[in-house]
Amino acid sequence: MKEKTASLTPSIIDIVKHKKTERPFSGEYNDFEGAGTYLCRVCGLALFRAQAKFPSGCGWPSFDEELPNAVTYKPDPDGHRTEIICARCHAHLGHVFSGEKYTLKNTRHCVNSLSLDFVPSQTVLDSEEALFAAGCFWGVEYYFKKLNGVLKTEVGYTGGHTENPTYEEVCYHKTGHFEAIRVVFDPKIISYEEIAAYFFEIHDPGQQDGQGPDKGEQYLSVAFYYDDQEKDILLKLIKKLKENGYEVATKLLPVTPFWPAENYHQNYYEKTKKTPYCHHYEKKFK
């Protein structure tokens, strides 16, 4: 189990660690519908299937059933409510109520959207996450979405010194952030090493000033690591690349908060029906 605390924004930390509550009707998943699974935002454990979600009108995502052994119940200090936490990492999720008769199961798990990640898989039981920067995040996402085992991609900004940066601020080099991608994957299907190798194969890790025609520090090649094990894997892959004759300018940096980019950047090539202009796949590992 690998907690993703280092990549979480302060608003998520307030919920999952400090047990705060997001404003009603403000969460991403309150009115969201779709077949799939809701994961713990901190450790990636599968918590709820989408078929357990129902409209309660309370302002927060509501579920009438959790996955087996995924959620732990704890009496609230106020003596009136029951808190629910992730059974594995103990991240705060919300509260559970019974006897309201919303559904036949007569249970309502009232959950903060910021405690959750949604993926379209209806069978996943666990997940992991990787963060990379490899030039324009539109093209990076285009290729990662093709990779078997990838459950979710999200483009954004990381590695900088300001909170909640905008695209314009990043482009004008005011924040120190890189254009990056968050890749959520199923470790039963694909490993971190395979994910990282693919990262090196979909861009030119030897370019020192950007990627393709895109020049600037926000377009540099960077692999972010959560722990020494991931760093060692990245170093091993870089060694192999150099042995195979490739130049490598990729930076290795510890994970820092990941700020999702504006909605129009998400799934950009899928929305526009275009194709990447500075990324392509090249098999580099024999």
Contacts of 49 (CB under 8 A, 6+ apart): 36, 37, 38, 65, 67, 122
DSSP string covering 206-255: T-SSEETTEESGGG-EEEEESSHHHHHHHHHHHHHHHHTT-----EEEE-
Residues in the chain, how many?
286
For residues 266, 272, 278 and 283, what is the CA-based torsion angle, rounded to 10 degrees? 80
Cα–chain-centroid distance for residue 209?
A: 27
For residues 277, 183, 181 and 205, what is the CA-based torsion angle, rounded to 10 degrees? -60
Which one from 40, 43, 89, 110 is the annotated catalytic residue?
110
58 is known as an active-site residue:
no
Residues 109, 64: Cα–Cα separation, whole Å: 6
Token look-up 């900004």 returns: 157
**Residue 168 phi, psi (nearest 5):** -65, -40
Q: Residue 45 corresponds to which tokens in the numbers above?
A: 């454990």
110 is known as an active-site residue:
yes
Angle between helices 192-201 and 228-243 (to 10 degrees): 40
Contact 246, 284 (CB under 8 A): yes
Which one from 40, 43, 89, 136 is the annotated catalytic residue?
136
Residues 249, 203: Cα–Cα separation, whole Å: 12
Catalytic site residues?
Answer: 110, 136
